[in-house]
Amino acid sequence: MHTIVLATQKGGSGKSTLAIGLALAAKQAGFTVRLIETDPQGTLSNWQRRRNSDDIVVEPIYHAADFAPRLTMLADSGLQLAIVDTAAGLSAATTAAIRYSDLCLIPARPSVADIEATVSTLSVARAWKRSYSFVLNQTPIRGQRIDNAASALAEEAALDVAEVLARPLIVMRNDHQDSLACGLAVSEFAPNGKSADEIRGLWRWIEARLDLSAGNLLIDQVMSAAECMLHAASEPAADETTTLAS
């Protein structure tokens, strides 16, 4: 199982909307997905209540101590992907989520305040040696401000922008908020729209970044289950050998 965490200190950066969009994009790509909510504000839970389908489960995990054992249980159940939405700021639950992530996505609007607010999240990801990428979200369609923001994020991470900035940038459009209000992802609300294309493109970028394949993950899970069965089957034989030898 792979775990993707969306985290940043600044509120209003679009973490929940991105989490929902990526969950549905991953599901449409053939992955089994669960959304995990660590934000007591409950944006994902409220979205699920408005939804007329139970194809994506939203699971609240509000306590840091519950995070690792629950991820282990989900992985053992065969789940392929967990996408975690976190609260604004840095809490024990957010820190735990980042600690056990395979990729920490740090959304930021192209503003000075948003970029400055990424520092604490970036520090946690680096402290736990977790992979991270910035997502420029709610951007205008074009403008110098986007380029300045991308350069600032790259300088903050002390890496080339191509290494730390996810693509494509996510443009501010009404489709995102309208789909959230309907209990849908943007790829369901306006499947042929530009916003849906951008979210699907972002998911493809993540797939490449993590070298994911739904088919390969399924094969890995089958092999892991087979190894466990072989190990369990060999234990009685080892016990019998020990008894005979004694």
pLDDT score, position 242 = 46
Provide the mean pLDDT of the chain.
Answer: 86
| CA-based nearest residue to 47, from 15, 71, 74, 73 | 15
User: Is the predicted pLDDT of residue 133 greater than 60, yes or no?
Assistant: yes
pLDDT score, position 222 = 44
pLDDT score, position 117 = 87
CB environment 2-23: b (16+ within 10 A), e (fewer): bbbbbbbbbeebbbbbbbbbbb
pLDDT score, position 146 = 75
**Can you spell out the DSSP letters for 117-159?**
HHHHHHHHHHHTT--EEEEE-SB-SS-HHHHHHHHHHHHHHTS
Query: Against a cut of 0.95, is the pTM above it?
Result: no
Q: What residue ranges do the domains of the chain occupy? A: 2-212, 215-246
What is the per-residue pLDDT across 38-86, written as a single tens digit (0 to 9) for each?
Answer: 999 999 999 999 998 889 999 999 999 999 999 999 999 999 999 999 9
Average pLDDT over residues 114-127: 91
Phi, psi of 4, deg, nearest 5: -115, 130
Q: In angstroms, how far is the first alpha carbon of the chain from the final one?
A: 43
The rounded radius of gyration (Å) of the Cα atoms in the chain is: 20
Enter the CATH code of domain 2-212.
Answer: 3.40.50.300
**Can you spell out the DSSP letters for 99-122?**
HT-SEEEEEE-SSHHHHHHHHHHH
CA 206 – CA 208 distance, rounded (Å): 5
